[in-house]
Structure 1
Amino acid sequence: MSNIVVFDLDGVITSEEAYWDTAGLVLHELLYSPQYWNIGHSGGVYTPPSTAVLSHQLSAKILPESVIVDLKARSVNSNWDTCYAGFCLYLIHLLALLPDCADLLPLRPWEQDWTESFREQLARLPGALEIDPARFHVFETPLFRGYSGLELLQRFDAYASEVLGQHIEGVFARYSPSWDFCKDLFQEWYLGEELYTRSYGHAPAQAGKPGCIHFEKPLLPVEQLYPALEKLQALGYTLGIATGRPGQESITPLQNYGLLRYFAAQHIVTHDQVAEAERGLKACGGKQNAPSLVKPHPYQFARAANPAYQPGQPALPRGSFIVVGDTPSDVRGGRAAGAIVIAVLTGARTPEARALLAQSQPDFIVEDITKVPALLEQIDDLATIQRLQFSERAKAELLLQHWFTQHMGLQTEAITLTPKPVSLNSFNGIYRLGSEEYFFKTHVEEQGVLEEYYHAELLHKAGYNIVRPLHTVHEKGQQMVVYPVVHWPVMFDLMRAVETGDTSQASVAMLVEAEKRECERLLRIYQATLQASTADEHARAPIHQLFWHRITGGRLHNFYSGKLVALPATGEQQVGGIPFDELLGYRWMVNGRALEGSLGELIERAKVVLNPARAALTVIGHGDAHFGNVFLEREQDYLYFDPAFAGRHSPLLDVVKPLFHNVYASWMYFPQEIARDLQVSVALRGSTVSVEHNYVLAPVRQALWETKLTYLFGPLKEFLRAQLALPDDWSELVRLALMCCPLLTVNLLDEKRMPASVSWLGLSQVMEMANLASIGAEA
């Protein structure tokens, strides 16, 4: 069902102007025909306009577009109801002009003899009677304020009672004889004499009506509509309709435009189905207790999405399908039915209408339906959800609920994202299905291809303590893993707490001891799983996505090429910047230490050294064991999850991500907090960049670094050397892989995220990682 897109018609695909003209012509006939109210005191025959231009001109004098748009914005969505609102207001106004309308009680404006009496009393009034559309400003008065849709229409009896000084009840209600009378006149004008006679079995009360249906045009040229609808079908969507139009009035224009072929018949719901369902409710529960099912009631949208849906059944979970509409009624009804609602601006034709549409809070707003296919592609992209989780979490959760339905067939009751600073290229959270909760996580690699994505079983068999997934999705660009919920704390959170002085859950000693225990276990796993891999096998390892593919595959260019590196502000003044492409050629000095190589030289060298297409002795490793992917189980054991980059690869690469991210990267995850105490100065001296900063590792991170070197990295080097498995360039390989971590995990020049001082700290670490002495040298 998640692949259903339900369109409103008027204001979205079809133009409502023919309907609007119809509504105004009904009111004009009532006001000026000698057969009805005849306020112009005409003695002749009423002649209907015969062309589209004349019809529009005559209608607009009685019911201007601005009035209709205002009614739409107030959720008076049906054009029958729009016409009826004008009927009620003008009739009540004319009744109020009479010296005494008591003789006309009870009001029966649908009956011919009452109309004759009313017309006679109007004829006795002195002078010509004028009609002013400003009457519609009554909706701003206290009696109507705060009401919309059908509730607004139901206020007309109270309004008539107030204006006329008489108790009026039921005369101006929706579905009253007055409403039926007005609706029948509307159908005469819209269908025209020939089509009306064929449809209803009798001729209109007055002859000569040509039928506004024949003046209809699509809202946009069909040359624009065809490609948009074809694109949606190509994306796998089934198209439906939920319209207030009757069946024939919906199908005929779509056939005339050549659009009907794009819509699935079982997903087309018109007023005919709504009226049938309402009759069923009245038959079961009585007329007084039967609710109206017209918009903004969700019935029509739910029925279009699910043809088996019946009134009173529970709404679908939010995100179950898509609704495209143009009014607040569409927004409210679609949302209540469980849809993601896209509002188009083609039906909101005034600033006021657009403001009211925005206030109804659709999930997305686009200019017209030609923009819908691109939006749905964006909605279905997990990268969109990853970005939104920090700024519009509720919307991100809604889109993810739709994604779960679309790609995994899961009708989730609720989804809760847990945005964390560590979620730089991923997101995770919990969804509820029935009484059970499940944890989910995905990686978003917008420029990469991961041939093998989740390898939990491989790690489990190798001896890793890992949360094993319950379900996975392996689609290019659409990758998700579902786990049982784990309630152990995450090492990332524990480290940050201790780093900032909170030792209520963990201490430095406890974390270091856990790291020592895990280093010893990793060393055993490396020793047990070491074996040779060919160049082709090694090149296919997913871990290279974190290093070589990022530096050669577009991310480096997209992050930095052509960008300006802003210099840190001095006091209150910005002091310009340096183009990144120029910065590539500079030598670096950081805190008084001269570093080898320019950034450009190191990047080019990394493209060679990190090239995975070489034979190697490999181990089974997690690949991305930063602390965002590690629980601490029972305060002592690491419990891994999300093995997105796991597989068989070099053990030297396996240790890189945890070495950098668990020790050095606090500035990357908490840039604004780090910036508060950070002092950075940058000086350009000839061809050298000189950076001075006061950033130092917290004691817990320094202790972790020393533990990693002592209990894993050092013994690993000795083991590999003894096995003749330590490459000649091992130190350069590790240093350049470490360099990739600060350079390519996040965009260091993202001004929305990174203050300039933190950007320079990150760039300094790029150079420092490439020159890191503490890991040792090849010799």
Structure 2
Amino acid sequence: MAAKNLIVFDLDGVITGEDAYWDTAGLVSHELLYSPLYWHIDTRVAEYQPVTTAEESRQVSRAILPEAVIVRLKSRSVNSNWDTCYAGFCMYLIYLLSHLPDVTPLLPLRPSEPNWIANFRFHIDLLPKIPVLDERVFTALNDPVFEGYNGLALLERFNAYASKVLHTPIKDVFARYSPSWWFCERLFQEWYLGDKLYIEESGHVPVQTGKPGCIHFEQPLLPIPQLKETLEKLGQQGYTFGVATGRPREEALLPLERYGLLNYFDMQHVTTHAEVAQAEAISSKKGRSDSLVKPHPYQFLLAAHPGYLPDEDVQNQQPFIVVGDTPSDVNGGHAAGAIVVAVKTGARTAQALTLLEQSEPDFLIENVTKLPTLLETMDSLATIQKLQFTEREKAERLLRWWFANHMNLTTERVTLTPKAVSLNSFNGFYRTQGEEYFFKTHVEEQGILEEYYHAELLREAGYNIVRPIRTLHEQGQQMVIYPVVRWPVMFDLMRGVETSETGEVNRINAEMLIDAERRECKRLLAIYATTQQMSSAMEQAHAPIHQLFWHRLVGERYRQFYEGKNVPIPHKQETISFEKLLTYRWTINGMALPYTLGELVDRAKITLDPVHAGITIIGHGDAHFGNVFLEEKRDYLYFDPAFAGRHSLLLDVIKPLFHNVFATWMYFPYEIDRDMQI
């Protein structure tokens, strides 16, 4: 089971910088090219002297393996720094081989073996001049043989590319975990760790000594105080931190320890290359050769669910958040069922940023310090309500995460059902442990009044009500869970009658709905008669129904929807400000009203003030047709009693009356404008 509120961080490009790794990749190619122990393309240099400072490392490395080439490889899911280094090795080796008049003496290619390397060096020395090393080395990636291939599949395409440029079949030479890949990996570790750490880790002395270790040149991506402050804020918000990185374990933990950040992370949720390699080895013994590196979801799933095995079903597990900087992080995180936040700090070129955006992370932020504020926005039903219309899949991922965090509810699937009438709510279905349930929430961002779910009160009064099986009430976070109701909704039935062609079927449907309405009106009158009583001003003031009227009129809802807005004038390319609209008197059906719209609003604030004593009844409060099922083609079945209680009879009927009569005008204005002549 994943930790509650778990965030799984990639390291490079998010918390740690990648420059030291990129320097290492270039230095490996430089050593291969110029060391007498390897290819030694320039025999004028008798002895190879490794660079010793951070400045020298950066200068020499970037000259051999430019940053633009590394970024391009990253954009094609070559994410492991070993793989990046190996891609540079492949391009340089094939480029040099292509300059030889005849490669036959070097076949089959065995570029990791000392005897083959010596033979290759001999043939390079026979060339009349040293091959020019420039951008032509990297034009290999433009070749059609690489088109459509990414990640480890791209590395394997170097066999096809070598066959093409060398005019001879090359098979099974270039691939991850091939002998030449392990050869490069060893050189990479020599450069990255330096002599001392390499000997401690491997028990071997580097072939070429004198390497200081690029790990000692490594710097955090952002100032350490900013990173600490960010993790402190997230910890205060209740989050647990994990890691999913392609680094070897010690190389992941050592920088975090040096920066004073390691103690923030839960070690059972830290996964590195070591765990991936172990899982791949186990799969290999079973006859499977699947790669489990990113963008495969394995590493993220293992970080989230310690003990996870490849291909294990985790549909009904705790959702979590992934923070990464590459398309592989985004794709792998989504494949793991996570909400993915991408940071721009790892996208060091405009092209890399474009590719990151095209991978469609759920959220994109400048850097990791923006995460605490973003998570506050994400952990909001109001955010989900807004996203349901434009980015439904993202909204569903957020809601699944919200259910887990606020209701301790793990779900296999969440499906939102956006409706035009849902201006301040959303609903849908979720599935858990093989059962399906319906949910609905009301979103009032300001949370002025608490919302109550008085289904039992309505049932006792005589209403045919769907009784919720679970509710949650927090400030600004209300949720009610129902059993799934399969009956049709009255709003949809009425809409069908209104928009269908006239005919016998439509006539029968209309008569059925009219009969049902008559029956329900009779039942409502009986309920009103038996439940009416006098209520005090204070009792009235606490009725939830006032959230629909007075509180919206005097609170943020009115200001948010109207103040400062411009209203389009029909059939004209003009608008009028709402403030100006308030100054006009209105004429409706030929009758001139004595008050301006602004004066009517002010009068309504007084008239609708809930602190008035009066006769009250027990009512649903929001029984418009969007909240009514038709059961057995005859009886109304109410649900979502968010505003139910004891309140004014007039308020109980006015919203359903207005909503049911004018719903089409409110929610489908363009259809009305198209079909109706006024």
Normalised by the length of structure 2, the TM-score is: 0.94
Change (3 A) 1:335 1:501: closer
- Residue 442 of structure 1 aligns to a residue whose secondary structure is strand
Is contact 1:315–1:336 with CA below 8 Å preserved after alignment? Answer: no
- Does residue 1:144 correspond to 2:146, yes or no? yes
Q: Name which of structure 1's ranges 656-665 and 530-539 shifts more when overlaid on structure 2.
A: 530-539
- CA change 1:319–1:355 in 2 (3 A) is farther
Offset at 1:69? 0.3
Matches within 5 A, 1:344-383: 344-383=343-382
SS in 2 for 1:97: coil
What secondary structure is seen at the aligned counterpart in 2 of 1:241?
strand
Which whole-Å CA distance do the structure 1 matches of 2:170 and 2:180 have between them?
13
Which residue in 2 is equivalent to 1:324? Answer: 323
Tell which deviates more after alignment, 496-505 or 602-611.
496-505
Please state if 1:653 is matched with 2:651: yes
- Cα drift, residue 76 of structure 1: 0.2
Q: 1:171 to 1:261 in 2, by over 3 A?
A: same
* 1:635 counterpart (629, 633, 636): 633
Q: Distance in 2 between matches of 1:638 and 1:331?
A: 47
Alignment match of 2:584 (pick from 583, 586, 593): 586
Residue 189 (structure 1) aligns with:
191
Q: Distance in 2 between matches of 1:546 and 1:301?
A: 44
- Would the aligned equivalents of 1:63 and 1:133 in 2 still touch at CA under 8 Å? no
Contact residue 325 and residue 344 of structure 1 kept, 8 A? yes
Aligned counterparts, 1:695-714, within 5 A = none
1:193-592 aligned at under 5 Å gives the runs: 193-283=195-285, 285-286=286-287, 289-316=288-315, 320-502=319-501, 504=505, 507-570=509-572, 574-577=573-576, 579-592=577-590
The answer to whether the 8 A contact 2:566-2:575 is kept is no
> How much has 1:381 moved relative to structure 2?
1.6
Q: CA shift at 1:248, angstroms?
A: 1.2
**Could you tell me how far 1:240 is from its partner in structure 2?**
0.9
- Structure 1, 548-557 or 603-612: larger mean CA deviation: 603-612
SS in 1 for 2:22: helix
Is contact 1:239-1:262 (8 Å) kept? yes
CA distance in 1, matches of 2:583, 2:393: 45
8 Å Cα contact 1:64/1:133 also seen in 2 = no
1:44-96 Cα distance to aligned partner (Å, 9 max, x none): 32111222111111111110000000000000000000000111111122122
Unaligned 5+ runs, structure 1: 680-693, 695-779
Aligned to 1:25: 27
Residue type of the partner of 1:383?
A: A
SS in 1 for 2:8: strand
Q: How far did 1:339 drift?
A: 1.2
Q: Which residue of 2 aligns with 1:60?
A: 62
User: Aligned equivalents of 2:225 and 2:669: distance in 1?
Assistant: 50
- Aligned to 1:390, the other structure's residue is in SS state coil
State the Cα distance separating 1:615 from its structure 2 match.
Answer: 3.1
> CA offset at residue 345 of structure 1?
1.9
- TM alignment of 1:50-89, pairs within 5 A: 50-89=52-91
State whether structure 2 residue 603 is matched by structure 1 residue 605. Answer: yes
Q: CA deviation at 1:25?
A: 0.5
What CA deviation, in whole Å up to 9, does each residue of 1:432-467 have, x standing for no partner? 334432222111111234424312111111110011
Cα displacement string for residues 546-590 of structure 1 (whole angstroms, at most 9, x for unaligned residues): 1111111222222222333443334xxx2452x333433332223
- Are 2:122 and 1:120 aligned? yes
CA contact (8 A) 1:320 1:339 kept: yes
Q: Output the amino acid matched with 1:440.
A: F
Shift in CA distance, 672/259, structure 1 to aligned 2, threshold 3 Å = farther
CA contact (8 A) 2:316 2:432 kept: no
CA contact under 8 A between 2:315 and 2:412: conserved in structure 1? no
Residues 43 and 602 (structure 1), Cα distance of their counterparts in 2 relative to 1, 3 Å cut: closer
Using the TM superposition, give the Cα deviation of residue 598 of structure 1 relative to its aligned residue in structure 2, in angstroms: 2.3
SS in 2 for 1:37: coil
Cα distance, 1:318 vs structure 2: 9.5
The residue number in structure 2 matching 1:713 is none
Q: Distance in 1 between matches of 2:29 and 2:316?
A: 43
**How far apart are the structure 1 equivalents of 2:500 and 2:245?**
61
Change (3 A) 1:358 1:561: closer
Which moves more between the two structures, 344-353 or 298-307?
A: 344-353
Which letter maps to 1:123?
D
Worse overlay, 51-60 or 373-382: 373-382
| Contact persistence 1:319–1:340 (CA under 8 A) | no
CA deviation after TM superposition for structure 1 residue 125, in Å: 0.9
Q: Is the 8 A contact 1:538 1:614 kept in 2?
A: yes
Task: Provide, for residues 727-756 of structure 1, a one-character-per-residue CA deviation record: whole Å limited to 9, x for no partner.
Answer: xxxxxxxxxxxxxxxxxxxxxxxxxxxxxx
Task: State TM-score, norm by structure 1.
Answer: 0.83
The answer to whether the 8 Å contact 1:34/1:42 transfers is no
Q: What secondary structure, in the 3-state scheme, does the structure 1 residue paired with 2:414 have?
A: strand
The DSSP-based 3-state class of the residue aligned with 2:270 is strand
1:650 partner amino acid: S
Q: How many Å separate the matches in 1 of 2:483 and 2:549? A: 30
Aligned residues: 673
Shift of 1:533: 3.2
1:729-744 aligned at under 5 Å gives the runs none
> Could you say which structure has the larger radius of gyration?
1
Rounded to whole Å, the distance in 1 between the matches of 2:101 and 2:164 is 16
Q: Deviations over 1:151-188 (max 9, x none)?
A: 11122223223333344333222111211111111111
Q: % of aligned pairs identical? A: 64
The alignment partner of 2:301 has SS state of helix
1:640 alignment partner AA: Y
CA distance in 2, matches of 1:93, 1:532: 93
Letter of the 1:480 counterpart:
M
Relative to structure 1, the CA distance from residue 187 to residue 36 in structure 2 (aligned partners, 3 Å threshold; closer, same or farther) is: same
Shift of 1:142: 2.1
Aligned equivalents of 2:136 and 2:458: distance in 1? 75
One-letter amino acid matched to 2:235: Q
CA distance in structure 1 between the aligned counterparts of 2:311 and 2:196, rounded to whole angstroms: 39
